[in-house]
């Protein structure tokens, strides 16, 4: 049985996740309150956990 930290949101389940396909799939966070100006989540795949700057992390 795998134990998950319920306070950490998985980006794949987030409503603010956006994907653009410019030859590679580039994932961005579209939340206005994000702590990162660009909001880039990853290239090719999403991270397993939300980044430190995620405004929904810990809620």
SS3 12: helix
pLDDT at 2 over 80: no
Domain count within the chain: 1
For 8-59, what is each residue's pLDDT tens digit?
578 888 899 999 998 999 999 999 988 888 899 999 999 888 898 998 887 6
Q: Is residue 47 part of a domain?
A: no
Q: Is residue 12 part of a domain?
A: yes
Question: What domain range includes position 16?
Answer: 7-33
With a threshold of 0.85, does the pTM exceed it? no
Q: Is residue 50 part of a domain?
A: no
- 10 Å CB burial of residue 44 (0-12, 13-18, 19+) is exposed
Q: Is residue 27 part of a domain?
A: yes
Q: Is residue 59 part of a domain?
A: no
């Amino acid at each position: 049985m795998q134990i998950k930290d319920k306070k950490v949101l998985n980006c794949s389940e987030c409503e603010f996740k956006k994907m653009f396909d410019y030859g590679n799939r580039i994932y961005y966070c579209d939340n206005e309150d994000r702590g990162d100006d660009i909001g880039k989540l990853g290239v090719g795949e999403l991270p397993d956990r939300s980044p430190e700057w995620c405004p929904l992390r810990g809620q």
